[in-house]
Amino acid sequence: MHDIKISCDFDILEENRRLAKENRKILDDHGVYCIEILGSIGSGKTTLIETICRNLRDTRTKVIVGDVVSEYDKQRIAKLSIEAIGINTGKECHLDAHLIHHALEEVDLEDVDLLLIENVGNLICPADFDLGAHERFIVVSVTEGRDVIRKHPHIFMKVNAGIINKVDLAGYFGINADSLVEDILSLNRDCKVFKISLKTGEGVRGLLRHIAQSIEIASF
Amino acid sequence: MHDIKISCDFDILEENRRLAKENRKILDDHGVYCIEILGSIGSGKTTLIETICRNLRDTRTKVIVGDVVSEYDKQRIAKLSIEAIGINTGKECHLDAHLIHHALEEVDLEDVDLLLIENVGNLICPADFDLGAHERFIVVSVTEGRDVIRKHPHIFMKVNAGIINKVDLAGYFGINADSLVEDILSLNRDCKVFKISLKTGEGVRGLLRHIAQSIEIASF
């Protein structure tokens, strides 16, 4: 009696895949390596981007920052003298390839080695929307609880690297960071997993090395 | 050229409002006070529900737990010998009045004083979907960063109470919990705000008193 029916003019996800492929071609044509960063609110996405920008000084980096309505994250990045393009999704809870397609028109890709895209803080909706990045990272904080990965299997199956952040607080929250590693690997055996603390610096070097190597390999 | 068009058979939000009103009438007819609990992943929604169930022992409580695919939260509640009805939203990132309408059919409302509804962990999509509860609480943790409220104004404008959790960690994260209180009040002057730590118990008594009073007033 009260079923809700939606009819779509065409397949949104299929169209998204087509545009993501176009985006990837644009990036490849310009020799730009692109990493999308996913994760919940407060997991540490923006702090990770700040850390990458501060440490990979010889890498010419630009950032696309997705947020619902505000520009707080964009402003944080801009403080590092890194060009940051903000996308406000309004009430939408994820970026899509179409939004990135337009953002790419605003970026001068000629002098970029690494493009970072920070998605909206959400572990559900962004999963299905390939943006055209070469790698997808997901940041998950030990403060999000022991079940967080098993509760959101879909998105963890669609990433290339899982970054377990705030491991310095694992003891306080009674969380075993290694069991979070196992949770990711049980869903996605090929996923690289990094245990880090962006606050104390623990484990960060290994992650930065991975990113630097990926950029180098892609530039051959 | 690549605009995405969706045509809907009718207004989803209007239909949701109609069903929410129906749900509220069903609850009122049975003398059940209903609180919806919103908040991001790991903010402490399930722990808050556990705390309410453990402490308001004379209140006959049941719980509806929304999750994307899993039953971890439902199982946590059930361990307290509290009846918990799980709703899996699949890939949907919020509950709606239609899902709650069906869940209410599964609950024997005759012997219930308080019905708690835990929404999916998300600060964006659930905002517009009234479920029919009498009060909406939002749980926000200091670990989510200093900008989290200003970054998600929409949902904070639609709640009756804001619960700032994990205040015991505010110092470690360099967060001033009072500025989070101000952020909520600047968006929603009538919002009640509670600063608590579900881990240490700080501030919890005031929140429980508020809930007990609301149930009592509603039962007159």
Cβ neighbour number for residue A65 with a 10 Å cutoff = 28
Whole-number pLDDT of residue B175: 95
Query: Candidates 3.30.300.250, 3.40.50.300, 3.90.1150.10, 3.30.43.10; correct CATH number of B12-217?
Result: 3.40.50.300
Alpha carbon distance, N-terminus to C-terminus of chain B = 60
Asked whether the beta carbons of residue B101 and residue A12 sit closer than 8 angstroms, the reply is no
Minimal Cβ distance to A7: which of B9, B98, B101: B9
Q: pLDDT band at residue A70, thresholds of 50, 70 and 90?
A: confident
User: Taking CB atoms and an 8 Å cutoff, what residues of chain A touch B169?
Assistant: 169, 172
DSSP for residue A134: S
Region A30-38 average pLDDT: 97
Minimal Cβ distance to B7: which of A7, A19, A125: A7
Q: Compute φ and ψ for B208, nearest 5 degrees.
A: -65, -35
Whole-number pLDDT of residue A220: 72
Distance from the B173 Cα atom to the nearest Cα atom in chain A, whole angstroms: 9
User: Taking CB atoms and an 8 Å cutoff, what residues of chain B touch A145?
Assistant: 41-42
How large is the ipTM? 0.81
Return the bridge partners of B194, or none. Answer: B163
pLDDT at A191 over 70: yes
Question: Is-contact B203 B27, C-beta < 8 A?
Answer: no
**Pairs across A and B, CB distance < 8 A:** 131
The span from the CA of A170 to the CA of A152, in Å, is 20
Torsion A142-A135-A152-B116 (CA) sign: positive
Q: Does A42 touch chain B (CB under 8 A)?
A: yes
Residue-wise burial string across A101-116, b where 16 or more C-beta atoms lie within 10 A, e elsewhere: bebbeebebeebbbbb
- Per-residue pLDDT of A152-172, as tens digits, reads 999 999 999 999 999 999 999
Distances (CA, A) of B32 to A191, B26, B62, B211: 47, 9, 10, 13
Distance from the B73 Cα atom to the nearest Cα atom in chain A, whole angstroms: 9
Region A60-76 average pLDDT: 93
Q: Determine the Cα angle at B181 with ends B179 and B184, to 5°.
A: 110
Q: Does B153 touch chain A (CB under 8 A)?
A: yes
Q: To probe the interface with B, which of A17, A41, A98, A120 has the most B CB atoms within 10 Å?
A: A41
> Domain residue spans in chain A?
12-217
Question: Is-contact A85 A64, C-beta < 8 A?
Answer: yes
Q: What's the distance, CA B206 to chain centroid?
A: 18
Q: Compute φ and ψ for B101, nearest 5 degrees.
A: -55, -45
Q: Determine the Cα angle at B182 with ends B171 and B187, to 5°.
A: 135
Interface subset of A 71-110, CB within 8 angstroms of B = 72-73, 91-93, 98, 101
Question: Could you give the strand order of the β-sheet that contains B84-88, starting from the edge strand earlier in sequence?
Answer: B84-88, B61-67, B114-118, B33-39, B135-141, B161-165, B192-195
Comparing CA positions, the residue from A87, A164, A94, A88 lying closest to residue A128 is A94
Comparing CA positions, the residue from B28, B23, B180 lying closest to residue B103 is B23
Global pTM? 0.88
Region A1-20 average pLDDT: 70
- Per-residue pLDDT of B184-207, as tens digits, reads 999 999 999 999 999 999 999 999
Q: Compute φ and ψ for A106, nearest 5 degrees.
A: -90, -15
- Per-residue pLDDT of B4-25, as tens digits, reads 444 444 688 999 999 999 999 9
Whole-number pLDDT of residue A6: 47
Q: For chain B, which residues score pLDDT lower than 50?
A: 1-9
Region A74-92 average pLDDT: 91
Asked whether the beta carbons of residue A143 and residue B141 sit closer than 8 angstroms, the reply is yes
DSSP for residue B122: B
Interface subset of B 187-216, CB within 8 angstroms of A = none
Q: pLDDT band at residue A218, thresholds of 50, 70 and 90?
A: confident
- Per-residue pLDDT of A89-137, as tens digits, reads 988 889 999 999 999 999 999 989 999 999 999 999 999 999 999 999 9
Q: To probe the interface with A, which of B38, B124, B155 has the most A CB atoms within 10 Å?
A: B124
Whole-number pLDDT of residue A103: 96
Asked whether the beta carbons of residue B69 and residue A144 sit closer than 8 angstroms, the reply is no
Share of chain A above pLDDT 90, in %: 87
Cβ neighbour number for residue A195 with a 10 Å cutoff = 19
